[in-house]
Chain A
Amino acid sequence: MSEPKIAADGVNFYYGTKRALHDIRVAIRPHVVTAFIGPSGCGKSTFLRTLNRMNDLIPDTRLEGSIKIDGQDIYAPSVDVVSLRRRVGMVFQKSNPFPKSIFENVAYGLRINRIANGRADLSHRVEESLKAAALWDEVKDRLHEPALSLSGGQQQRLCIARALAIKPDIVLMDEPASALDPIATQRIEELIYQLKDQYTIVIVTHNMQQAARVSDFTAFFWLGRLVEYNETRKIFTAPAEKLTEDYVTGRFG
């Protein structure tokens, strides 16, 4: 088995005095899709947001334990959070395009990180990212129209394109399709499937069919603990824990 891309060990997380994560230990492999499932409030989103240190933005929070990406502790004092987030992209539950044009949304990350080499390169990279997010054909004639004029599903794919533009290693997705209709959801799922060759993808989802369809590995969270983590096939057909079985068969949750 290859080296884990992400390795968490003994991770506890606190909002103020409220403990949201208990001793999370998990090793996530590169170039696979890993799904986090579990009922609301179980800590799956919190854990996802520790992986790009998004929780740093919430005042009065605290993390214990270690999280390593490619063997490097991302909570070490020497780590530059800004460059960490460049390597670990994120797509949010509610699509949040900037109130700018479609083009400028994708160009934003390239500009602020000074990645593009001149105007032609910038345009090229924007096009490449929109193609990677399967949005190019729908928007190529209206790149300079406002992003907010797109449909919900298109906006979410734009947010994926925006995340891909800066060429991260890892893409975190926090319930990326929960606000979308079934057809838009299907397009996002197809996209996730295509992206895993190039990226390590971690997706939080409420939708168990979605986890079963798109992921290779699944982690089941319950009350801030990681109950079970295994190949998705095993989690859904032969879980080791009774709790997991009850959840995936819909007996609660």
Chain B
Amino acid sequence: MTSRYHADRAFAVLGLLGLLAALAALAALLLDVIADGAPHLSWQFLTSYPSRFAASAGILPAILGTFYVIVLTALMAVPVGVAAAVYLEEYGAQGRLGRIIEINIANLAGVPSIVYGLLGLGLFVRALSLGRSVVAGAATLALLVLPVVILATREALRAVPKTLREGSYALGATKWQTTQLQVLPAALPGILTGIILALSRAIGETAPLIIVGAVAYVRFVPDSLWSPFTVLPIQIFNWVSRPQAGFAANAAAGILVLLVMLLLMNGAAIFVRDRYQRRRAA
């Protein structure tokens, strides 16, 4: 009779161990990076350009490059992804065709990012002659995260109660009025969560941007959409691969900057989402 209680307790312990293992790995990584990088973080590091000398090398172009690329990626991927999801979920593509499309999108979400890099190189850099530019990099990342945005948005739309849609239709609302005035606002928190996840993935991507031609040694801030650029992960990658010890510390400091940017971005999105949810509930 008591064996099921033992099983219950055993599972709780097992779960806790799993959690601790995951946290320990994260903590080790963080502590190591902080130990190496924190002493090197300074205003000068944040506002300087790369240099041949580790001590005077800074990360400004990478920070701004990452910022521009992510903003552009969001501007491209979010409207297209949300529109595609709304179409799939609210308008067309029900039944068999809908399922086939859904499976394919889920597949695309799992395609290795380097494949998107090759696509970006062929399509944006060469065929559309955008060159090795901020806009080509952002377009490539937008393609990469588009499936994630679509899937998350569909999930959020599906979670909107049917009764809300029916209430709107029953008052003579058109499909677009119902979608725009009832369904999208109700789904917005879920959509935002999906966008956060997608952009968090994009901000850490390196491989596709190397292929599209982000360069590591950029001694200027991107001044237009067609400007060459670098991003944080590439700058970090470049520093790590150098033999001199000073650059390893630079890389650790760069990782900290990337983590802080990620944290700020996620924090801002969660803040917006919670505020919005509270306003609707109030």
- Give A residues with C-beta under 8 Å from B: 52, 54, 57, 59-60, 82-83, 85-86, 89-90, 92, 94, 96-99, 108-109, 112-113, 146, 148, 159, 162-163, 166
Interface size on B, residues (CB 8 A): 23
Are A96 and B169 in contact, CB atoms less than 8 angstroms apart? no
- Give B residues with C-beta under 8 Å from A: 94-95, 161, 163-174, 177, 181-182, 185-186, 280-282
Q: Which of A52, A108, A113 contacts B181 (CB 8 A)?
A: A108
Nearest-CB distance from A86 to chain B (Å)?
4
Nearest-CB distance from B189 to chain A (Å)?
12
Are B171 and A109 in contact, CB atoms less than 8 angstroms apart? yes
Are B280 and A85 in contact, CB atoms less than 8 angstroms apart? no
The distance in angstroms between the C-alpha atoms of A125 and B169, with both chains bound, is 20
Are B170 and A89 in contact, CB atoms less than 8 angstroms apart? yes
Residue of A nearest to B186 (CB): A99
Q: A59-B94, A59-B95, A108-B181 are in contact. Are A96 and B174 (CB under 8 A)?
A: no
Are B163 and A94 in contact, CB atoms less than 8 angstroms apart? yes
The distance in angstroms between the C-alpha atoms of A20 and B282, with both chains bound, is 41
Q: Which of B163, B171, B181, B280 contacts A166 (CB 8 A)?
A: B171
Are A85 and B171 in contact, CB atoms less than 8 angstroms apart? yes
Are A96 and B181 in contact, CB atoms less than 8 angstroms apart? no
Are B163 and A112 in contact, CB atoms less than 8 angstroms apart? no
Q: Which of B161, B171, B280 contacts A112 (CB 8 A)?
A: B171
A99: which B residues are within 8 A, CB to CB? 185-186, 280-281
The distance in angstroms between the C-alpha atoms of A22 and B169, with both chains bound, is 27
Known: A85-B171, A166-B172. 7 other contacts (CB 8 A): A54-B170, A59-B94, A82-B173, A98-B167, A99-B186, A109-B173, A166-B171
Are A113 and B172 in contact, CB atoms less than 8 angstroms apart? yes
B168: which A residues are within 8 A, CB to CB? 98, 108, 112
B182: which A residues are within 8 A, CB to CB? 98
Q: Which of A83, A113, A146 contacts B281 (CB 8 A)?
A: A146
Nearest-CB distance from B201 to chain A (Å)?
31
Identify 15 residue pairs between A and B in the complex whose beta-carbon atoms are under 8 Å apart, listed by A's number.
A54-B169, A59-B95, A92-B167, A96-B163, A96-B166, A98-B182, A99-B185, A99-B280, A108-B171, A112-B171, A112-B174, A112-B181, A159-B167, A162-B167, A163-B170
Q: A108-B181, A112-B177 are in contact. Are A85 and B167 (CB under 8 A)?
A: no
Are B163 and A92 in contact, CB atoms less than 8 angstroms apart? yes
The distance in angstroms between the C-alpha atoms of A100 and B165, with both chains bound, is 14
Residue of A nearest to B185 (CB): A99
Q: Which of A60, A82, A90, A97 contacts B174 (CB 8 A)?
A: A82
Residue of A nearest to B180 (CB): A112
9 nearest A-B residue pairs (beta carbon): A86-B172, A109-B171, A96-B163, A90-B170, A96-B167, A85-B172, A112-B177, A112-B173, A59-B94
The distance in angstroms between the C-alpha atoms of A59 and B170, with both chains bound, is 17
Q: Which of A57, A60, A83, A146 contacts B282 (CB 8 A)?
A: A146
